[in-house]
Chain A
Amino acid sequence: MAYVAARGGEAAIQAAEALALRHLAEVSADQIAWVEAHLSLLVDRVMGEASLYAPRLAALALVQSGGELEGAVLLLRAYRSTQPRIQAAQPVTDASMTSLRRVSAAFKDIPGGQHLGATLDYSHRMLRLDLLDQGRSALPAVSVAQTPAPAHAESVSLWLRREGLLPQLPDLAGEVVFDVTREPLTFPAPRAARLQSLARAETGGVLALGYANMVGYSGVHPTVGEVRLAQAEVTLRHPVSGELFSAGRVRVSRGEIVAPTPEGASASGGAQGSLSLGCCAALGWNETKLIAGGVLDLAMDQPQAHPALQEEFVLNHTESVEASGFCLHFKLPHYVTFASELDRVRAERTRNAQPDIAAFEPPEVSV
């Protein structure tokens, strides 16, 4: 095996890592399974931002990073880099996902019905201090509905399209989908690249920029056409027989935001006198992401979008792994580059302290 050039730095980083990883000594596989089962929304967020649906690995990443979210996302994305892409799955459609929660703010009732599903939206946000004493919560009884909610439902946007309020969707059958994990993102970004970038963007960043828009910067007044949490079938084509088969189910969520089309808007919108649709979908369930991301999708198409709400700005700066990594890299030694800066500052100081050094005279320019 390799001869490794080792000096002080190596012993130091190994000792520091050992100190930080002491918590792992007590972690069992069962506890990682517990994280997967009980912190499922956190696991969802890691999977969504990592673009890799692997609940057990996401739980492991969370445990391994001590719960540091960007760290867990990076662990999972780095693991993803070791895996080849075999093929693109069949598109997930309304008919191929089992809807478990679906609400619309745009209409009192919608075709297929409003279904709250499982939500803490209307719970009182009070700490359940009794859990600290009892250690186990008494589960409230859940009763089965007389008529089950329909497993599949058409999206509200489809109804709006039929009414002529939203433009018809282009036919994308047979198109190769752009993949932001395999191709560099350039601007203006293809539609697929924008939606994928939003899907894996850092939720806090999407929220911050989306919120800025909601309160007035290049303001879009959003209405939630639909928020849907679902289980989607991942359908692949067998590489040899060509048969379609299900590789399993994944939790997905999708938000549709509608707003009147502003004057001069493009991309997602239709003509004047119609609505525009902002869309955001994610692997895993993450409602904040859906709404803020859907609003940003609309905001990015505003003709006079605020600089912080333009596509390049939004997509480049909500990238969790890139933003957090670059932020933290300033901890690394920079003494060589700082020496260069210091050299310039000292040169400037010397010049200022000696007024008899002739100031630079701009040369005469002849045209």
Chain B
Amino acid sequence: MSTLADLAAPRADYTFAFLDEHAKREVRRSLLKAVCIPGYQVPYASREVPMARGWGTGGLQVTLSVIGERDTLKVTDQGADDSVNAVNIRRFVARMTGVVTTTDTLEATLIQSRHRIPEERLREGQILILQVPLPDPFSYLEPSRSKARELHADSDYALLWLRLYEDLTRRGEVMTGADHPVSVHGHYVMAPSPIPRFDVPKLHQAPHLTLLSAGREKKLYAVPPYTDVQPLAFTDVPFQIERQEGWVCAQSGVSGGFMTELPLPGGGARYVLSDTGLLDKLVRARRGEAVTVGETYTELGPEASP
């Protein structure tokens, strides 16, 4: 006769991808809703995960809910795969799922990122998961989430336009930094997570799926493939990306990608590509190694000697 012990699975302290299955299913249902209503912030319960709130717990819950055993995971923070928190998230997901991880955008099926979209073009089938601190573009204009929800429901974005207009008239420049509001498929306006303005055009009509999730605020939203994403801008004052003319990467010698400015002692600065996965490949290519560099969103400038 079989005993209960024979029938039971061996004891495991934690399940595949950590969260209990009900939690994952709830996140996936919310994601489906988010994909159906591009740019709309879907509330979800948002479980606590073994990481502090504000440290990527929203992105992490989405990653844990959609990841499968055959996925290949890339995690970046500020474009860097070796940034401490990116390492920590990647280590945790790998530990809880056993999936293969990578720094190469081309190899990844899932990319969890904080504050950047990679420079190499994402393709159909890839999922980009952006960590979001403040999901509502009204955050600093209308702090009450209940009132902000009403404004979204009414498509009343006057406060956002007014903010841009006031910047122009009072300061001469639109002062939105890395969280420039974007209109998604002509309806909801969303906060792009924050990413630099340099990365905003990458979302427009992109072949990949972008999932954005804020764990602390318990909201997730999505940009499905081939969706219009337009930064809010006046017709006579075009949207501007960061001005990095003449900035050349000190390690790869290229220009044209988003650069990180590294202050030098005594003044001045040098620059390196913020996307370390790409940087790594460019450096290896210079050494004569065989690497595949994907097509990039922006043209990388002619190589100068670093």
The A-contacting residues of B in range 210-241, CB under 8 angstroms, are: 216, 218-219, 234, 236-237, 240
Q: Does the CB pair B48–A81 fall under 8 Å?
A: yes
CA distance A352 to B243 in the complex (A): 17
CA distance A188 to B150 in the complex (A): 13
CA distance A343 to B52 in the complex (A): 30
Contacts of B79 in A (CB 8 A): 336
CA distance A78 to B54 in the complex (A): 14
A-B complex: 10 closest residue pairs judged by Cβ atoms: A325-B53, A329-B54, A325-B52, A7-B82, A184-B43, A77-B48, A340-B178, A326-B54, A81-B47, A337-B178
Closest to B259 in A: A339
Judged by a CB distance under 8 angstroms, whether B295 is at the interface is no
Pick from A78, A82, A340: contact of B196, CB below 8 A. A340
Q: Does the CB pair B47–A5 fall under 8 Å?
A: no
Which among A181, A186, A326, A328 has the highest number of chain B CB atoms within 10 Å? Answer: A326
Instruction: Quote the shortest CB–CB distance from A201 to chain B (angstroms).
Output: 14
Secondary structure of the A contact surface, majority rule: helix
The B-contacting residues of A in range 42-91, CB under 8 angstroms, are: 74-75, 77-78, 80-85
Q: Does the CB pair B196–A9 fall under 8 Å?
A: no
Closest to A12 in B: B84
A2 in contact with B18 given A78-B48, A187-B145, A348-B175 (CB within 8 Å): no
Contacts of B242 in A (CB 8 A): 339-340, 343
Q: Does the CB pair A348–B48 fall under 8 Å?
A: no
Stretch at the interface among A101-109, A236-244, A271-279, A355-363: A355-363
CA distance A346 to B173 in the complex (A): 10
Contacts of A8 in B (CB 8 A): 82
A2 in contact with B45 given A9-B86, A340-B177 (CB within 8 Å): no
Contacts of A336 in B (CB 8 A): 78-79, 115-116, 178, 195-196, 258, 260, 274
The A-contacting residues of B in range 51-93, CB under 8 angstroms, are: 51-55, 57, 74, 77-88, 90-91
Judged by a CB distance under 8 angstroms, whether A322 is at the interface is yes
The tally of residues in A whose CB lies under 8 Å from a CB in B reads 62
Contacts of A4 in B (CB 8 A): 90-91, 94, 101
Q: Mark A299-335, 1 if CB is under 8 A from B, else 0.
A: 0000000000000100010000110111111001111
CA distance A77 to B172 in the complex (A): 48
A333 in contact with B243 given A10-B91, A81-B19, A344-B175 (CB within 8 Å): no
Q: Does the CB pair A360–B115 fall under 8 Å?
A: no
Closest to B277 in A: A5
Instruction: Quote the shortest CB–CB distance from B254 to chain A (angstroms).
Output: 18
The A-contacting residues of B in range 90-113, CB under 8 angstroms, are: 90-91, 94, 98-103
Judged by a CB distance under 8 angstroms, whether B146 is at the interface is yes
Q: Mark A1-22, 1 if CB is under 8 A from B, else 0.
A: 1111111111011000000000
CA distance A363 to B196 in the complex (A): 28
Instruction: Quote the shortest CB–CB distance from B18 to chain A (angstroms).
Output: 6
Q: How many A-B residue pairs have CB under 8 A?
A: 193
Instruction: Quote the shortest CB–CB distance from A28 to chain B (angstroms).
Output: 20
Q: Does the CB pair A187–B172 fall under 8 Å?
A: no
CA distance A333 to B88 in the complex (A): 14
Instruction: Quote the shortest CB–CB distance from B161 to chain A (angstroms).
Output: 12
Judged by a CB distance under 8 angstroms, whether B287 is at the interface is no
Contacts of A2 in B (CB 8 A): 94, 98-101
Q: Does the CB pair B216–A7 fall under 8 Å?
A: no
Instruction: Quote the shortest CB–CB distance from B222 to chain A (angstroms).
Output: 17
CA distance A327 to B78 in the complex (A): 19
Which among B21, B53, B79 has the highest number of chain A CB atoms within 10 Å? Answer: B53
Closest to A327 in B: B54
Q: Does the CB pair B78–A335 fall under 8 Å?
A: yes
Instruction: Quote the shortest CB–CB distance from B27 to chain A (angstroms).
Output: 12
CA distance A280 to B251 in the complex (A): 60
Q: Does the CB pair A81–B87 fall under 8 Å?
A: no
Q: Does the CB pair B169–A332 fall under 8 Å?
A: no
Q: Does the CB pair B94–A85 fall under 8 Å?
A: no
Which among B74, B168, B178, B243 has the highest number of chain A CB atoms within 10 Å? Answer: B178
CA distance A351 to B46 in the complex (A): 44
Closest to A16 in B: B84
The A-contacting residues of B in range 23-56, CB under 8 angstroms, are: 23, 26, 43-55
The A-contacting residues of B in range 146-169, CB under 8 angstroms, are: 146, 149, 165, 168-169
Contacts of B243 in A (CB 8 A): 343, 346-347
Which among B44, B79, B85 has the highest number of chain A CB atoms within 10 Å? Answer: B85
Sample 20 A-B pairs with CB under 8 A, ordered by A number: A2-B100, A5-B103, A6-B87, A8-B82, A10-B91, A78-B51, A80-B47, A81-B18, A81-B48, A81-B49, A82-B15, A321-B53, A325-B52, A327-B54, A335-B261, A337-B179, A339-B196, A340-B197, A341-B178, A348-B172
Judged by a CB distance under 8 angstroms, whether B140 is at the interface is no
The A-contacting residues of B in range 115-150, CB under 8 angstroms, are: 115-116, 133, 144-146, 149
Q: Does the CB pair A13–B22 fall under 8 Å?
A: no
Contacts of B87 in A (CB 8 A): 6-7, 9-10, 13
Q: Does the CB pair A329–B146 fall under 8 Å?
A: no
CA distance A334 to B77 in the complex (A): 9
CA distance A76 to B98 in the complex (A): 24
Judged by a CB distance under 8 angstroms, whether B176 is at the interface is yes
Which among A12, A336, A346, A347 has the highest number of chain B CB atoms within 10 Å? Answer: A336
Q: A7-B87, A181-B45, A340-B197 are in contact. List 6 more A-B contacts (CB 8 A).
A: A81-B19, A182-B26, A184-B44, A312-B146, A329-B53, A337-B194
Judged by a CB distance under 8 angstroms, whether B171 is at the interface is yes
Contacts of B44 in A (CB 8 A): 184
Contacts of B145 in A (CB 8 A): 186-187, 312, 316
Contacts of B101 in A (CB 8 A): 2-5
CA distance A347 to B244 in the complex (A): 11
A183 in contact with B146 given A83-B20, A325-B52, A337-B178 (CB within 8 Å): no
Instruction: Quote the shortest CB–CB distance from A121 to chain B (angstroms).
Output: 34
